[in-house]
């Protein structure tokens, strides 16, 4: 059965939605979001979002890669297959560096992309907004503020009045068809 | 302005002549950009596409045929012999891998440098990177001779408990190239996610317009596929925040990666003691050359593409001009390296080293050397003239010279250094065979097939980034209640 | 705007007082130098050369910052350009004058190749006699300073004239080869060259100087590094050496540009400096931390791998005795510590982190120069001398004093740069 998921307001320009977002944030809503075809510069501050945490995934990915590379070469060429080549020591950080370095980048990159997906809870193909016909313009040229009904401060009339006061050109309820 | 009261006023007026050109011409609305780019993917492909695809496909099949012949017969079908045991395969490998570098430079380094003009060209350039690396990967794969043992390159356990020997630069290549391919693919895919969502949503909107059952089915299948790969993207600002951060980090990782890949390729030569190969400037010199050749290829592809798909308002003459400047800069850096090599060959006092360089310029391969110098050092200097930088057909011609010149650079490095060993009894003259030549030509077929498929099925310009650099994307734009919002400090 | 143009100094009482610090440094430095010279001439000569190469880095690195500003047609760096121009102008005549002691001490105390009686008996010297003989060495050194003088002073001249453009004070006169450059520009760039648009003319002149200037820069810097530093061990050769000196120089100059900007901002002398400038400079510092490491690693790595005795001797010497600690300190201190410290985005704006990094960068770059110069006379390991400190105080103090005088005798910020608007809008 379908139940109301959120209230959605549509805007034409980044400036309009910026002003609207400032108001919504000022009212103290928590479970709400701004949807736009491209990242809007300065929106994170207006929404009161802190610094993204993706960097930690990258850092630990990279660290794992570097250590794996060095340890792998150390054991393979110093113990398991200890052949002297070119008069070089059996193990040296110098010749092991290129491979360990590439491993750092490889796992760091997986960490970044994976971290982004994990933090964003993606992929999610069944989001109620995806079922809304009007919302399809979000990847084209429209901007939306969406306030979820589960938010503590949500009130059917008050929230709608708030959004109306921000100059939204269209407001509608989004259903969650479950 | 109270804090500056005691200060003289700084005039911030920009004379008309020095005002920057917009990145998207004619002040188009956001929807127009979507329509223009996504329209290419949705519409039917024009006739030239079909013709080009057929030709490329046939050329690609020729490549595969010759590779099959090589595997069945052995590397003896190539022109390799004593003393030149590294021939076209290595030259082609370095050539293709170098082509790829422009893509990463545009997508990562220009991103870090905040060069906003990259947004119109980064998608195509990144795609080109991936396809070029695929072409490059073929050659070391097949030149090992016994291709069925190629997996020995990887650190996999085997019955003889023999492990790879990590002191060999060829093994560093394995890691560098495979990392490069993987990370480029991740970076490219990540940039595609919001644009795939755009196409998904447009397919959904256009579903009603489908009249026949067949059209409806195609629309459904496409919606499904684009939907799967767009990961359920809904343009949420909470998502954008992590997305932008991850994109920045990937750019930060790709930048040292792109430097390291061609540096490691240069190590293949430079860690040896061979005159002409062992010189310390090789790593940055190879990287500059790679970027140079890559921009040549980007222009070779982009100039016809913008004309055929009518994208002149998004890929403007200003974009071409800036790319020409990069070509000029990197070509000159390469020229510095050529000069430095010669200078130090003289300065160092090693007679073999000096001989190797004299032999390059005036020995039996003099023609290759002077093709290299004319194409790589002299031809980019034409871009000092504004006319040359702003005339697309002319840029196209120079870009072809750049491609040729950079192939010859690798040929000169590989062949001229090898063909005269220390003992005159070990001197020879290397020539390629028909198999060498046609396999290489065939890789262009593979490259073009992949590229044509890319422009057919994926948005070839990064839609969301181009929107982001238009004036109407600025939330502090004059009209529309911007005065209510205070400027955020990033 | 006339008020803006006539204002030539923003020097307050406080900044005037600052000048006593470099003056004191010069006096102490001079005393130590004389003492060092009397004690051990060779030690003094090498100490002085180290300090000179260290200071030269700053001039060249700042020149590069100015050149790329014009070449990239950058906007954000406009507020820092004026003081970078002053730093670059230290190259001539001041660093040229500072070179004179090296010219005197060089043959006898610094460069062993100048003391070889029969150059033909020494193969490494014999092959490069065309370059490595005293007349050419002196002539080349003078020409290098003249070229740098031309470039830096013309760049600053047009920059200062731009401040006056549109007023009766404007006197932008073309010096001899500039006529030809302008002619070339007018003919081939397809743009009008109009006398009345003085502001645009100044921008164009700076761009013209930057365009050929970057080529000139690359060749002169390489030659300087080879003639004055690499030639201490004339048997050594490396194609990377010019790039190597460049990488270190720029690294240090960026850090100096950051700190000068921070001081001028804190004292409200250039209030137009904002987050954008400090963040970008900090990021560039990180980038060049990596770039230097890349260049030096590549040079070392290739020599290590190929193990050709003609090259390895240079590094073998630097791995003997306590020089090994210096080598390790370079890896960790020149790369790892600043790299890790600068990784976070917000530190590039934090004084608590950036000021120690600045001091550290100066120390590391000095150590890098020391590592290049000193092993020739101290084979067993570094041996600090009073002359090291003295030379550094003398040269550093004098240059800071000149810089401050220049800075406050002109507008401290570009008054009419067409890209200034961009830098002030976005912060």
Q: Which residue of B has its CA nearest to C208?
A: B384
Burial code of B383-400, b = ≥16 C-beta within 10 A, e = fewer? bbbeebbebbebbbebbb
Report, as an integer, the average pLDDT of C51-78: 94
The residue of B8, B259, B354, B488 whose CB has the most chain C CBs within 10 angstroms, and thus the best one to mutate to test that interface, is: B8
Q: Does A115 touch chain B (CB under 8 A)?
A: yes
Distance from CA of B318 to the nearest CA of C (A): 13
CA distance readout (Å), B440 to A88, B68, B73, C239: 36, 14, 18, 32
User: Do both A79 and A25 map to the same domain?
Assistant: no
pLDDT of residue C2: 34
Predicted confidence band at C363 (pLDDT cuts at 50, 70, 90)?
A: very high
Whether C427 contacts C275, CB under 8 Å: yes
Look at residue B477 and tell me whether its pLDDT is greater than 50: yes
Q: Does A106 touch chain B (CB under 8 A)?
A: yes
Query: Considering only residues 248 to 267 of chain B, which have any Cβ-Cβ distance to chain C shorter than 8 Å?
Result: 256, 259, 263, 267
Q: Does C307 touch chain A (CB under 8 A)?
A: yes
User: Do both C275 and C149 map to the same domain?
Assistant: no
Look at residue B155 and tell me whether its pLDDT is greater than 80: yes
Predicted confidence band at C191 (pLDDT cuts at 50, 70, 90)?
A: low
Predicted confidence band at A124 (pLDDT cuts at 50, 70, 90)?
A: confident
Predicted confidence band at C195 (pLDDT cuts at 50, 70, 90)?
A: low
Look at residue B177 and tell me whether its pLDDT is greater than 50: yes
Beta bridge partners of A157: none
Q: Does B179 touch chain C (CB under 8 A)?
A: no
Report, as an integer, the average pLDDT of B148-177: 88
User: Do both A28 and A59 map to the same domain?
Assistant: no
Look at residue C427 and tell me whether its pLDDT is greater than 60: no
Closest CB from A51, A87, A97 relative to C307: A87
User: Do both C67 and C211 map to the same domain?
Assistant: yes
Report, as an integer, the average pLDDT of C223-241: 94
Report, as an integer, the average pLDDT of C32-45: 94
Predicted confidence band at B489 (pLDDT cuts at 50, 70, 90)?
A: very low
Position with higher pLDDT, B342 vs C188: B342
User: Do both A109 and A137 map to the same domain?
Assistant: no
User: Do both C335 and C205 map to the same domain?
Assistant: no
Mean predicted lDDT score pLDDT of chain C: 90
- How does pLDDT run across A50-71, given as a tens digit for each residue? 877 888 999 999 999 999 999 9
Q: How far apart are CA A64 and CA A104, in angstroms?
A: 7
Burial class (CB in 10 A: 0-12, 13-18, 19+), B471: exposed
- Is B475–A22 a contact, with Cβ atoms under 8 angstroms apart? no
- Is B162–A81 a contact, with Cβ atoms under 8 angstroms apart? yes
Q: 3-class SS at A6?
A: strand
Name the percent of chain C lying above pLDDT 90.
74
The residue of B107, B171, B182, B240 whose CB has the most chain A CBs within 10 angstroms, and thus the best one to mutate to test that interface, is: B240
- Is C301–A87 a contact, with Cβ atoms under 8 angstroms apart? no
Predicted confidence band at B107 (pLDDT cuts at 50, 70, 90)?
A: confident
Contacts of C290 in chain B (CB under 8 A): 256
For chain B, which chains pass the contact test of at least 3 CB pairs under 8 Å? A, C
- How does pLDDT run across B454-469, given as a tens digit for each residue? 998 999 899 898 888 8
User: Do both A74 and A111 map to the same domain?
Assistant: yes
pLDDT of residue C344: 85
Distance from CA of C305 to the nearest CA of A (A): 8
Mean predicted lDDT score pLDDT of chain A: 87
Q: Which residue of A has its CA nearest to C303?
A: A94
- Is C301–A86 a contact, with Cβ atoms under 8 angstroms apart? no
Count Cα neighbours of B111 within 13 Å in the Cβ-side half-sphere.
28
Tally Cβ neighbours within 10 Å of residue C102: 18
Position with higher pLDDT, B292 vs B36: B292
Torsion of CA C37, C42, C46, C47, to 10 degrees: -30
pLDDT of residue C420: 87
- How does pLDDT run across C273-328, given as a tens digit for each residue? 989 899 999 999 999 999 999 999 999 999 999 999 999 999 999 999 999 999 99
Predicted confidence band at B189 (pLDDT cuts at 50, 70, 90)?
A: very high
Name the percent of chain B lying above pLDDT 90.
56
pLDDT of residue A177: 75
- How does pLDDT run across B62-75, given as a tens digit for each residue? 999 999 999 999 88
pLDDT of residue B380: 94
Predicted confidence band at A178 (pLDDT cuts at 50, 70, 90)?
A: low
Query: Whose structure tokens read 């061990």?
Result: C233
Look at residue C4 and tell me whether its pLDDT is greater than 80: no
- Is B473–A14 a contact, with Cβ atoms under 8 angstroms apart? yes
pLDDT of residue B2: 36
Look at residue C106 and tell me whether its pLDDT is greater than 70: yes
Closest CB from B175, B472, B489 relative to A102: B175
Name the percent of chain A lying above pLDDT 70.
99
ipTM comes to 0.92
Report, as an integer, the average pLDDT of A161-172: 84
3-state percent breakdown (helix, strand, coil) of chain B, nearest 5 = 75, 0, 25
pLDDT of residue B474: 79
Look at residue C188 and tell me whether its pLDDT is greater than 70: no
User: Do both A147 and A171 map to the same domain?
Assistant: yes
User: What's CA A30's distance to the chain center, in Å?
Assistant: 17
Count Cα neighbours of B252 within 13 Å in the Cβ-side half-sphere.
24
> Is C108 within the bounds of a domain?
yes
The total number of structural domains that make up chain C:
2
- Is B14–C419 a contact, with Cβ atoms under 8 angstroms apart? yes
Predicted confidence band at C99 (pLDDT cuts at 50, 70, 90)?
A: very high
User: Do both C220 and C322 map to the same domain?
Assistant: no
Predicted confidence band at B490 (pLDDT cuts at 50, 70, 90)?
A: very low
A121-135, B11-25, C52-66, C407-421: least confident range? B11-25
A1-15, B476-490, C356-370: least confident range? B476-490
Look at residue C388 and tell me whether its pLDDT is greater than 60: yes
| Residue range(s) defining the domain that contains residue C161 | 17-235+390-420
pLDDT of residue B8: 59
- How does pLDDT run across C344-355, given as a tens digit for each residue? 888 999 999 999
Contacts of C305 in chain A (CB under 8 A): 86, 88, 95
Position with higher pLDDT, C97 vs B5: C97
Look at residue B231 and tell me whether its pLDDT is greater than 80: yes
- Joined together, the tokens standing for residue B443 give 């890789």
Look at residue B486 and tell me whether its pLDDT is greater than 50: no
Give the dihedral sign, CA B388/B368/B335/B129. Answer: positive
User: Do both A76 and A87 map to the same domain?
Assistant: yes
Look at residue C192 and tell me whether its pLDDT is greater than 80: no
Distance from CA of A80 to the nearest CA of C (A): 23
Q: Does C304 touch chain A (CB under 8 A)?
A: yes
User: Do both C188 and C282 map to the same domain?
Assistant: no
Mean predicted lDDT score pLDDT of chain B: 88
| Residue range(s) defining the domain that contains residue A93 | 54-120
- Is B232–A127 a contact, with Cβ atoms under 8 angstroms apart? yes
Q: 3-class SS at B10?
A: coil
Whether B191 contacts B247, CB under 8 Å: yes
Look at residue A89 and tell me whether its pLDDT is greater than 80: yes
pLDDT of residue B378: 94
Q: Say which residues have a Cβ less than 8 Å from residue A53's Cβ, sequence separation at least 6.
A: A115, A119, B242
Count Cα neighbours of B222 within 13 Å in the Cβ-side half-sphere.
23
Report, as an integer, the average pLDDT of C144-164: 94
Closest CB from A18, A35, A42 relative to B236: A35
Whether A10 contacts B211, CB under 8 Å: no
All structural domains of chain B with their residue ranges? 23-146+259-470
Distance from CA of B31 to the nearest CA of A (A): 5
> Is C283 within the bounds of a domain?
yes
pLDDT of residue C169: 82
- Is B12–C421 a contact, with Cβ atoms under 8 angstroms apart? yes
User: Do both C99 and C115 map to the same domain?
Assistant: yes
Q: Does A173 touch chain B (CB under 8 A)?
A: no
Predicted confidence band at C259 (pLDDT cuts at 50, 70, 90)?
A: very high
Contacts of A46 in chain B (CB under 8 A): 485, 488
CA distance readout (Å), C367 to C32, C47, C99, C328, C388: 20, 12, 20, 11, 11
Predicted confidence band at C190 (pLDDT cuts at 50, 70, 90)?
A: low
Report, as an integer, the average pLDDT of B35-40: 86
Q: Which residue of A has its CA nearest to B469?
A: A38
User: Do both C200 and C263 map to the same domain?
Assistant: no
> Is C11 within the bounds of a domain?
no
Q: Does A85 touch chain C (CB under 8 A)?
A: no
Distance from CA of C294 to the nearest CA of A (A): 11
User: Do both A114 and A69 map to the same domain?
Assistant: yes
Report, as an integer, the average pLDDT of C201-224: 93
Beta-carbon contacts below 8 Å between A and B: 248
Burial code of C145-168, b = ≥16 C-beta within 10 A, e = fewer? bebbbbbbbbbbbbbbbbbbbbee
Report, as an integer, the average pLDDT of B168-180: 92
Distance from CA of C153 to the nearest CA of A (A): 40
pLDDT of residue B484: 31
Burial class (CB in 10 A: 0-12, 13-18, 19+), C116: middle
- Is B249–A55 a contact, with Cβ atoms under 8 angstroms apart? yes
Q: How far apart are CA B2 and CA C425, in angstroms?
A: 17
User: Do both A155 and A113 map to the same domain?
Assistant: no
User: Do both A69 and A105 map to the same domain?
Assistant: yes
pLDDT of residue C194: 56
ω before C336 within 30° of 0 (cis)? no
Report, as an integer, the average pLDDT of B5-11: 62
Predicted confidence band at A172 (pLDDT cuts at 50, 70, 90)?
A: confident
Distance from CA of C129 to the nearest CA of B (A): 9
- Joined together, the tokens standing for residue C344 give 């976070």
Contacts of C297 in chain A (CB under 8 A): 97
């Amino acid at each position: 059965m379908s139940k109301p998921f959120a209230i959605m307001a549509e805007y034409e320009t980044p400036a309009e939605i910026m002003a609207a977002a400032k108001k919504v944030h000022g009212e103290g809503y928590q479970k709400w979001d701004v949807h736009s075809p491209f990242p809007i510069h300065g929106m994170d501050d207006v929404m009161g979002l802190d610094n993204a945490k993706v960097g930690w995934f990258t850092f630990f990915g990279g660290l794992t890669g570097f250590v794996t590379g060095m340890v792998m070469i150390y054991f393979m060429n110093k113990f398991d297959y200890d052949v002297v080549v070119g008069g070089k020591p059996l193990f040296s950080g110098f010749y092991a560096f290129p491979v360990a370095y590439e491993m750092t980048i490889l796992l760091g990159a997986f960490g970044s992309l994976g971290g982004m997906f994990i933090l964003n809870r993606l992929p999610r193909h069944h989001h109620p907004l995806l079922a809304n016909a009007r919302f399809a313009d979000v990847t084209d040229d429209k901007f939306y503020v969406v306030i979820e009904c589960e938010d503590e401060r949500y009130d059917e009339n008050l929230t709608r009045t708030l959004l109306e006061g921000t100059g939204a050109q269209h407001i509608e309820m989004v259903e969650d068809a479950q | 302005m109270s804090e500056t009261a005691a200060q003289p006023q700084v005039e911030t007026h920009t004379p008309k002549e020095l005002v920057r050109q917009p990145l998207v011409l004619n002040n188009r609305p956001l929807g127009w950009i979507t329509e223009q780019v996504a329209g290419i993917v949705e519409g039917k492909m024009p006739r030239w596409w079909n013709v080009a695809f057929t030709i490329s496909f046939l050329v690609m099949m020729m490549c595969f045929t010759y590779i099959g012949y090589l595997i069945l017969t052995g590397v003896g079908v190539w022109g390799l012999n004593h003393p030149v045991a590294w021939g076209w395969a290595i030259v082609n490998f370095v050539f293709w891998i170098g082509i790829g570098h422009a893509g990463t430079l545009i997508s990562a380094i220009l991103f870090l440098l905040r060069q906003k003009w990259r947004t119109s060209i980064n998608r195509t350039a990144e795609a080109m990177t991936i396809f070029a690396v695929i072409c490059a990967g073929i050659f070391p794969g097949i030149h090992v001779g016994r291709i069925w043992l190629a997996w020995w390159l990887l650190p996999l356990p085997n019955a003889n408990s023999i492990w790879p020997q990590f002191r060999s630069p060829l093994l560093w290549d394995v890691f560098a190239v495979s990392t490069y391919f993987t990370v480029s693919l991740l970076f490219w895919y990540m940039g595609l996610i919001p644009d795939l969502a755009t196409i998904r949503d447009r397919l959904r909107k256009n579903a009603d317009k489908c009249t026949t059952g067949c059209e409806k089915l195609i629309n459904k299948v496409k919606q499904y596929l684009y939907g799967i790969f767009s990961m359920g993207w809904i343009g949420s600002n909470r998502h954008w925040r992590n997305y932008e951060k991850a994109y920045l980090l990937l750019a930060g990782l790709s930048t040292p990666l792109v430097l390291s890949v061609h540096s490691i390729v240069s190590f293949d030569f430079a860690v040896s003691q061979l005159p002409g190969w062992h010189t310390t400037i090789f790593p940055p010199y190879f990287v500059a050359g790679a970027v140079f050749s890559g921009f040549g290829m980007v222009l070779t592809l982009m100039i016809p593409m913008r004309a055929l798909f009518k994208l002149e308002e998004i890929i403007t003459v200003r974009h071409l001009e800036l790319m020409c400047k990069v070509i000029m800069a990197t070509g000159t850096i390469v020229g510095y390296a050529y000069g430095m090599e010669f200078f130090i060959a003289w300065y160092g006092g090693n007679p073999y080293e000096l001989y190797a360089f004299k032999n390059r310029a005036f020995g039996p391969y003099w023609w290759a050397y002077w093709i290299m110098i004319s194409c790589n050092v002299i031809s980019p200097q034409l871009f000092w003239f504004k006319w040359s930088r702003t005339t697309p057909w002319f840029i196209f011609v120079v870009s072809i010279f750049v491609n040729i010149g950079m192939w010859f650079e690798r040929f000169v490095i590989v062949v001229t250094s090898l063909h005269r060993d220390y003992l005159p009894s070990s001197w020879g003259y290397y020539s390629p065979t028909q198999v060498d030549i046609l396999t290489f030509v065939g890789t262009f077929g593979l490259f073009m097939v992949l590229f044509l498929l890319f422009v057919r099925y994926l948005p070839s310009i990064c839609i969301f980034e181009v929107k982001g650099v238009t004036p109407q994307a600025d939330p502090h734009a004059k009209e529309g209640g911007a005065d209510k919002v205070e400027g955020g400090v990033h | 705007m006339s008020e803006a143009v006539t204002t030539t100094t923003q020097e307050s009482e406080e900044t005037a007082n600052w000048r006593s610090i470099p003056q004191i440094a010069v006096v102490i430095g001079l005393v130590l130098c004389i003492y060092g010279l009397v004690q051990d001439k060779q030690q003094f000569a090498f100490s002085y050369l180290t300090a000179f190469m260290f200071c030269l880095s700053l001039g060249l690195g700042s020149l590069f910052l100015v050149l790329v500003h014009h070449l990239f047609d950058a906007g954000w760096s406009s507020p820092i350009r004026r003081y970078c121009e002053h730093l670059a102008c230290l190259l001539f005549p001041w660093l040229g004058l500072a070179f004179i002691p090296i010219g005197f001490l060089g043959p006898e105390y610094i460069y062993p190749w100048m003391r070889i009686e029969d150059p033909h008996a020494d193969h490494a010297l014999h092959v490069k006699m065309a370059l490595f003989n005293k007349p050419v060495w002196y002539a080349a050194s003078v020409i290098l300073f003249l070229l740098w003088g031309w470039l830096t002073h013309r760049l600053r001249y047009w920059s200062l004239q731009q401040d006056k453009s549109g007023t009766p004070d404007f006197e932008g006169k073309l010096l001899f080869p500039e006529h030809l450059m302008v002619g070339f520009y007018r003919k081939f760039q397809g743009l009008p060259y109009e006398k009345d648009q003085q502001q645009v003319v100044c921008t164009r002149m700076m761009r013209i100087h930057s365009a050929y200037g970057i080529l000139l820069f690359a060749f002169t810097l390489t030659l300087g590094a080879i003639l004055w530093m690499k030639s201490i061990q004339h048997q050594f050769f490396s194609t990377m050496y010019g790039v190597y000196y460049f990488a270190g120089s720029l690294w240090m100059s960026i850090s100096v540009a950051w700190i000068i900007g921070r001081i001028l901002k804190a004292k409200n002398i250039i209030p137009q400096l904002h987050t954008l400038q400090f963040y970008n400079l900090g990021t560039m510092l990180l980038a060049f931390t990596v770039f230097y490491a890349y260049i030096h690693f590549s040079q070392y790595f290739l020599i290590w791998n190929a193990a050709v005795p003609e090259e390895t001797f240079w590094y073998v010497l630097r791995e003997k005795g306590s020089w090994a600690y210096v080598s390790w300190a370079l890896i960790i201190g020149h790369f790892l510590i600043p790299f890790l410290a600068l990784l976070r985005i917000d530190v590039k704006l934090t004084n608590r982190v950036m000021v120690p990094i600045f001091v550290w960068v100066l120390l590391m770059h000095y150590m890098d120069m020391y590592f290049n110069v000193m092993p020739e006379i101290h084979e067993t390991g570094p041996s600090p001398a009073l002359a090291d400190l003295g030379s550094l105080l003398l040269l550093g103090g004098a240059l800071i004093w000149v810089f401050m005088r220049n800075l406050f005798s002109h507008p401290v910020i570009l008054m009419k740069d067409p890209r200034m608007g961009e830098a002030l809008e976005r912060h």
